[in-house]
């Protein structure tokens, strides 16, 4: 700690700790049936987050009730801290729009002294790891973390000189603003990447990504394989459009979910698939069936080098089966024949989401049945070599 900084207790940052750091009333003193539609606002634990107030689901009490709870009221400029929950000790400032109000039992109203501490510096400090760590130490081992006021008033806090407090708070706000801008830019970039990813898939399955490869093959073998097939979506001449059912065995899982998982035949569900690639992270899958459980639950074991795909609600998220697995009923599996590279099929299916939505069946939620899956069109190069190049 700097020489001109001091360590103080939170209570020392007020004019009168017992009056300026108070919690809400006992539950019996403020009941939900006393809430009214218009009146004095009541802040609850759901409204308080680190550095921000969530202005939703505000309840009210009558002025008469707020007078009864006078000790448990706040005013504009006060800080509010959570004293229950995980994590607890979250702090924010009363918004400007709320002149006066009441807190519930699980909150603390903190009225700091502006002679001693700059409120924004104090808020950032309470929400920092330094103070949060103290809250955790106090509540370690408890099933429902809660702190009392005596403990809160005695928490240790690093206090800089007032001018430096203002400078620190301003720097934090600047850096947080830069982080927010960075997050916004990342979200924009992610949406653009998704567009780019779809563009790559479209080009791949129209034969554009392997044009140079085909030209090279043409020169080597003396044939002309780069002409366009004007009858089928402008595909290369040697390509053709086929249905999934013509090149794969579609495997629909049993509808019953297993009741026990004691083996190493992986149990794969929709969250195990990643929209951005076709590989499953098997190390994250914590459920598997034994061979006896497979028999008991009439489960269908999906062979290695099959492709699985989401078929309920969200269509066309695919993955390659690289280890013996069983899937739930929200997935279907495709076992390609010898004319199709499994990895190629996994990517090709991603391009047909619009078709899948058009042919899907919907009662309460859209789904693809076996017939729908078998009808999905796939643009297919004639050779395993070109499919491998594309994949």
**pLDDT tens per residue across span 100-136:** 999 999 999 999 999 999 999 999 999 999 999 998 8
| pLDDT per position as a tens digit, 339-374 | 999 999 999 999 999 999 999 887 778 888 899 999
Pairing mode of beta strands 361-362, 366-367:
antiparallel
Residue 231 has pLDDT above 60, yes or no: no
pTM of the model: 0.58
Q: How confident is the model at residue 290 (pLDDT cuts 50, 70, 90)?
A: very high
> Rounded distance, CA 160 to CA 164, Å?
6
Could you give the CA distance from residue 108 to residue 111 in angstroms, rounded to a whole number?
10
| Angle 220-222-225 from CA coordinates, rounded to 5° | 95
What phi and psi values does residue 10 have, to the nearest 5 degrees? -55, -35
174-223 pLDDT, tens per residue? 999 999 999 989 888 888 888 888 889 989 999 999 999 998 888 887 65
Cβ neighbours of residue 296 closer than 8 Å, sequence gap 6 or more: 258
pLDDT tens digit string along 48-73? 999 999 999 999 999 999 999 999 99
Task: Specify the pLDDT at position 88.
Answer: 86
Q: Are 378 and 243 in contact (CB under 8 A)?
A: yes
Percent with pLDDT over 90 in the chain: 69
pLDDT for res 141: 60
């Amino acid at each position: 700690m700097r020489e001109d900084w001091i360590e103080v207790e939170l209570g020392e940052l007020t004019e009168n700790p017992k009056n300026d750091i108070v919690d809400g009333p006992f539950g019996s003193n403020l009941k939900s049936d006393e809430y009214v539609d218009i009146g004095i606002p009541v802040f609850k634990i759901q409204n308080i987050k680190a550095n921000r107030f969530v202005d939703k689901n505000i309840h009210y009490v009558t002025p008469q009730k707020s007078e009864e709870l006078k000790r448990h009221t706040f005013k504009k400029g006060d800080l509010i801290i959570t004293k229950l929950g995980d994590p607890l000790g979250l702090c924010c400032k009363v918004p400007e729009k709320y002149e006066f109000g009441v807190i519930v039992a699980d909150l603390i109203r903190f009225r700091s002294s502006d002679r001693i501490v700059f409120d924004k510096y104090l808020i950032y400090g309470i929400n920092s790891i330094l103070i949060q760590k103290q809250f955790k130490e106090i509540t370690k081992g408890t099933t429902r973390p809660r702190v009392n006021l005596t403990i809160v008033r005695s928490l240790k806090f690093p206090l800089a000189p007032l001018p430096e407090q203002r400078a620190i708070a301003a720097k934090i706000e600047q850096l947080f603003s830069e982080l927010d801008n960075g997050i916004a830019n990342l979200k924009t970039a992610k949406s653009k990447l998704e567009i780019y990813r779809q563009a790559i898939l479209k080009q791949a399955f129209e034969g554009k990504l392997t044009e140079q490869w085909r030209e090279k093959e043409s020169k080597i073998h003396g044939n002309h394989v780069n002409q366009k097939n004007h009858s089928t979506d402008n595909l290369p001449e040697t390509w053709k459009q086929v249905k999934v059912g013509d090149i794969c065995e579609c495997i629909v899982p049993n509808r019953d979910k297993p009741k026990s998982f004691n083996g190493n035949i992986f149990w794969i569900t929709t969250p195990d698939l990643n929209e951005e690639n076709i590989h499953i992270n098997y190390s994250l899958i914590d459920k598997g069936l034994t061979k006896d459980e497979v028999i008991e639950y009439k489960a269908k074991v999906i062979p290695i080098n099959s492709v699985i795909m989401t078929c309920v609600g969200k269509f066309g998220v695919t993955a390659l089966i690289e280890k013996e697995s069983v899937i739930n009923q929200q997935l279907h599996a495709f076992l390609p024949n010898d004319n199709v590279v499994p990895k190629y099929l996994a990517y090709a299916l991603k391009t047909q989401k619009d078709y899948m939505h058009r042919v899907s069946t919907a009662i309460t939620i859209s789904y693809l049945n076996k017939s729908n899956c078998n009808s999905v069109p796939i643009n297919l190069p004639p050779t395993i070599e070109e499919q491998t190049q594309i994949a």
